[in-house]
Amino acid sequence: MAATAQQEPDYTQYMYNTMVVNPAYAGTSGLLNITGTFRSQWTGFDGAPETLNLGVESPISDRVGLGINMMRDKLGPSDEYGFAANFAYTIPLNEKIKWSFGLSGGLNVFNVDFTKGTYHDGDDPLLMNNINNQILGIIGAGTYVYSDNWYLGLSTPNFFSQKYYDDVEMAVNADEMHLYLIGGYVFDLGGTTKFKPAFLLNYVQDTPLNAVVTANFLLFSKLTLGAAYEIDANVSALAGFNLTRDLFLGYSYGYSTTDLNNYNNGTHEIILKFSLGSKTGMSYSPRFF
């Protein structure tokens, strides 16, 4: 019997911390960005995923950007901590279009406390020994092409396909390589309104293609309203507000479109982003990404 499940954390509002899926994004906005995200998935479901992420990225020259991502992902009896450092180098293709290449490296620390679960066979010897601080390496890469009103990126956060534990073949849990394709376009609908449709495709070998489409409106350079649809998974409403020139607060609520809806109260995600730099604040940028 085989089963597939979510391996990497999902983020409905990934577009505000794009570096979490593509290291080539680091520094491309021209600003110092500090982004914190809290996601509580499938609330009310015992052992449901909870994710914390902190991303910091900035340009250090006209062509070089650096960043770090720190993550904690809690799922049932397991806890995973991750740290990745990101490097990006940008090449101007012409006056408007730039092409960035990124690399990332770091590690994940994985823990499982089997005493926090209820099992059909509690005497199984595989459940007698917890997993404590198992370290797995991270090496990722990405490419990102962008201008003032569109972007397109291809990346993998980690090339490695690794086994968390393999006492017997039946107990193998492999972390497979994820490929991400992202893209978006900003339409200027007038002096006070911008519209950005975007997409994220996530491919993992031997699993169905995961696709997310979003549509966001930016009103008066202050208020963001939108929606997201993850095919065969959930639909989400998004809202955000620029509290100050440099500080953005965003929230999303996701509603499951599968049978899981019968067992949970939806998914909540909160994001807080601080942007600082020589350019006008991120919320006022015509790029809107």
Domain hosting residue 177, numbered range? 14-280
Q: Does any domain span residue 40?
A: yes
Confidence of residue 5 (pLDDT cuts 50, 70, 90): very low
The pLDDT of residue 123 is 59
The residue count of the chain comes to 289
Note whether 240 and 261 are within 8 A (CB): no
Q: Does any domain span residue 287?
A: no
Model's pTM, two decimal places?
0.86
Q: Does any domain span residue 6?
A: no
Q: Does any domain span residue 5?
A: no
Q: Does any domain span residue 285?
A: no
Domain of 84, CATH number, reads: 2.40.160.60
232-268: pLDDT as tens digits: 889 999 999 999 989 999 999 999 998 888 888 899 9
Instruction: Tell me the one-letter amino acid at 162.
Output: Q
Q: Does any domain span residue 289?
A: no
Residue 120 predicted with pLDDT over 60:
no
Q: Does any domain span residue 141?
A: yes
CA distance 105 to 85: 6
| Number of folded domains that form the chain | 1
- When mean pLDDT is compared across 82-86, 122-126, 205-209, 234-238, the lowest value belongs to 122-126
Note whether 175 and 142 are within 8 A (CB): no
DSSP bridge pairs for 143 = 101, 154
- When mean pLDDT is compared across 6-20, 64-78, 142-156, 167-181, the lowest value belongs to 167-181
Note whether 92 and 98 are within 8 A (CB): yes
Confidence of residue 1 (pLDDT cuts 50, 70, 90): very low
CA distance 167 to 150: 48
148-187: pLDDT as tens digits: 999 999 999 988 776 555 444 444 445 678 999 999 999 9
* 167 phi, psi to nearest 5 deg: -60, -40
- Mean confidence (pLDDT) of the chain: 86
95-107: pLDDT as tens digits: 999 999 999 999 9
- When mean pLDDT is compared across 46-50, 122-126, 160-164, 275-279, the lowest value belongs to 122-126
Q: Does any domain span residue 2?
A: no
The pLDDT of residue 235 is 95
Mean pLDDT of 54-82: 94
Checking 214-217 for CB contacts under 8 A at 24+ apart, the result is 214/15, 214/238, 216/15, 216/288, 217/193
